[in-house]
């Protein structure tokens, strides 16, 4: 199975790619991973890419496409592959089609993960990754059992430095302007499948299964190279081949024997029962629609209730913060008064001591 996953950052491509690799036993191919591996291995394309990246420039299409070609012809990708993050634009898509057409291995399906911007922001801001095993969690939708600890290996979880609101908005804008036209490109080819990526991981996985149900891998024959035709010798007579043509013998169909019925013979009529499919009445449809509307209304009310609770919680937090500030101010004033009282007491004691000493000295002095 040869698949392409496209979608905005945070739409769940990586999570579903992991499921698909296990289901079809095919590798997940990411341009970022390919670039890092090529640079580390110091391949010819890796050295070119490193020189360009060190200069602060974007790696051109021809180098990226060359890395993709080298990867998909490896033995582990013979049964298929999953392209994650490639192609990013129409030029890369057309170049990929040319490579796969030559190999006789066209793309089977393109899955586009659609999710609204607000959900994307929540997923990316709350995203946590395990440093040790790479497992993904989310503070809002899939929190770990223990804060900052991976449920699978116990490793430390961290959030990416670029998972902030400003960076995310910029990345989404780039996706819409450059990558979104790929949707129209693959839609014209008839291989685009839209996957609603809202909800939890299990629900999205069910939609991916539904999109790929009944899909069979495509393979087109590779065009062989034509052998060179030898030029005929001069004055050589053309070879003549004789072929005997025999006419096919006509097929004679045997006549069906017709049984005659005697006068006393009775023929039983065959009763054929036709099972008609159950017809859904308008009443049933209206009831289902009413039930769905009520469920949507309840969900909206619950959401509004949650929003109201959030606002009340924020107001209480602000009030608590203000109260704490007031208590601190009162405490500081009380401390200042105590300190002033202590200083006043010390000054009085000092004055009293001085006065006492003066009086004692006056009594001791002789009368004149």
CATH number of 2-116+171-212: 3.40.50.300
Task: Sheet containing 2-7: give its strands across.
Answer: 28-30, 81-84, 2-7, 109-114, 192-196
User: What pLDDT score does 41 carry?
Assistant: 86
Could you tell me what percent of the chain has a pLDDT over 70?
75
When mean pLDDT is compared over 14-28, 233-247, 264-278, the highest value belongs to: 14-28
pLDDT surpassing 80 at residue 220: no
Question: pLDDT band at residue 82, thresholds of 50, 70 and 90?
Answer: very high
Residue 204, pLDDT above cutoff 60: yes
Q: Give the residue from 62, 86, 78 showing the smallest Cα distance to 1.
A: 78
pLDDT of residue 263: 44
pLDDT score for 286: 54
282 flagged as catalytic: no
**Would you tell me how many other CB atoms lie within 10 Å of the CB of residue 220?**
11
Q: What's the pLDDT at 265?
A: 41
Q: Tokens 């979880």 label which residue?
A: 157
Note whether 124 and 169 are within 8 A (CB).
no
Mean of the pLDDT values across residues 332-340?
A: 83
Mean pLDDT of 246-267: 45
Distance CA 10, CA 32 (A): 16
Tell me: the pLDDT tens digits for 39-58?
A: 888 888 888 888 887 777 77
Region 98-108: mean pLDDT is: 93
Catalytic residue among 160, 209, 219, 339: 160
User: What was the pLDDT predicted at 241?
Assistant: 44
Q: Across 42-46, 93-97, 142-146, 321-325, which has the greatest mean pLDDT?
A: 93-97
Helix or strand run (H / E) with residue 193: strand 192-196
What pTM was estimated for this model as a whole? 0.53
pLDDT, tens only, 14-34: 889 999 999 999 999 988 888
- The pLDDT of residue 222 is 60
Instruction: Pick from 76-85, 282-291, 319-328 the range whose average pLDDT is largest.
Output: 76-85
DSSP classification of residue 77: G
Give residue 300's pLDDT: 67
The secondary structure of 267-297 as a DSSP string is: -PPP-PPP-PPPPPPHHHHHHHHHHHHHHHH
Q: Which of 2, 105, 123, 127 is catalytic?
A: 127
Question: Is residue 290 annotated as part of the catalytic site, yes or no?
Answer: no
Q: Specify the DSSP class assigned to residue 229.
A: P
Q: State pLDDT tens for residues 162-182.
A: 666 777 777 777 777 777 789
Active-site hit among 2, 13, 71, 207: 13
Q: One of 18, 69, 149, 171 is an active-site residue; which one? A: 171
The catalytic position among 88, 149, 187, 218 is: 88
Residue 99, pLDDT above cutoff 80? yes
d(CA 337, CA 333): 6
Residue 264 pLDDT level (bands cut at 50, 70, 90): very low
With a cut of 50, say whether residue 155 has pLDDT above it. yes
Does the annotation mark 127 as catalytic? yes
Buried b (16+ CB within 10 A) or exposed e, 280-305: eeeeeeeeeeeeeeeeeeeeeeeeee
Does residue 279 surpass a pLDDT of 60?
no
Write out the H or E segment, with its range, that includes residue 112: strand 109-114
Looking at every residue in the chain, the average pLDDT score rounds to 76
């Amino acid at each position: 199975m040869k698949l392409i996953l496209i979608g905005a950052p945070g739409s769940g491509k990586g999570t579903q790619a992991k499921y698909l690799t296990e289901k079809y036993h095919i590798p997940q191919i990411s341009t970022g991973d390919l670039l890092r591996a090529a640079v580390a291995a110091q391949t010819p394309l890796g050295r070119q890419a490193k020189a360009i990246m060190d200069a602060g420039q974007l790696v051109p299409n021809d180098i990226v496409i060359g890395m993709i070609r080298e990867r998909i012809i490896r033995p582990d990708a013979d049964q298929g592959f999953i392209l994650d993050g490639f192609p990013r634009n129409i030029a890369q898509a057309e170049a990929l089609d040319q490579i796969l057409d030559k190999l006789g291995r066209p793309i089977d399906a393109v899955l586009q993960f659609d999710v609204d911007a607000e959900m994307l922001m929540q997923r990316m801001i709350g995203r946590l990754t395990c440093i040790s095993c790479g497992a993904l969690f989310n503070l809002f939708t899939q929190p770990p059992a223990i804060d900052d600890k991976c449920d699978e290996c116990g490793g430390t979880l961290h959030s990416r430095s670029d998972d902030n609101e400003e960076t995310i908005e910029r990345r989404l804008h780039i996706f819409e302007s450059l990558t979104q036209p790929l949707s129209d490109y693959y839609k014209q080819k008839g291989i685009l499948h839209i996957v609603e990526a809202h909800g939890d991981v299990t629900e999205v996985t069910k939609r991916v299964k539904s999109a790929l149900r009944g899909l069979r891998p495509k393979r087109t024959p590779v065009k062989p190279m034509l052998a060179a035709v030898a030029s005929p010798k001069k004055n050589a007579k053309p070879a003549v081949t004789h072929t005997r043509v025999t006419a096919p013998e006509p097929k004679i169909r045997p006549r069906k024997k017709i049984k005659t019925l005697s006068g006393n013979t009775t023929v039983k009529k065959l009763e054929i029962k036709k099972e008609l499919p159950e017809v859904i009445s308008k009443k049933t449809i209206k009831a289902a629609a009413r039930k769905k509307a009520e469920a949507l209304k309840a969900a909206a009310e619950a959401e509004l209730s949650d929003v109201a609770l959030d606002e009340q919680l924020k107001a209480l937090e602000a009030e608590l913060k203000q109260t704490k500030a007031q208590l601190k101010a009162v405490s500081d004033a009380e401390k200042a008064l105590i300190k002033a009282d202590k200083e006043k007491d010390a000054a009085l004691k000092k004055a009293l001591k001085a006065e006492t000493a003066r009086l004692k000295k006056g009594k001791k002095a002789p009368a004149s």
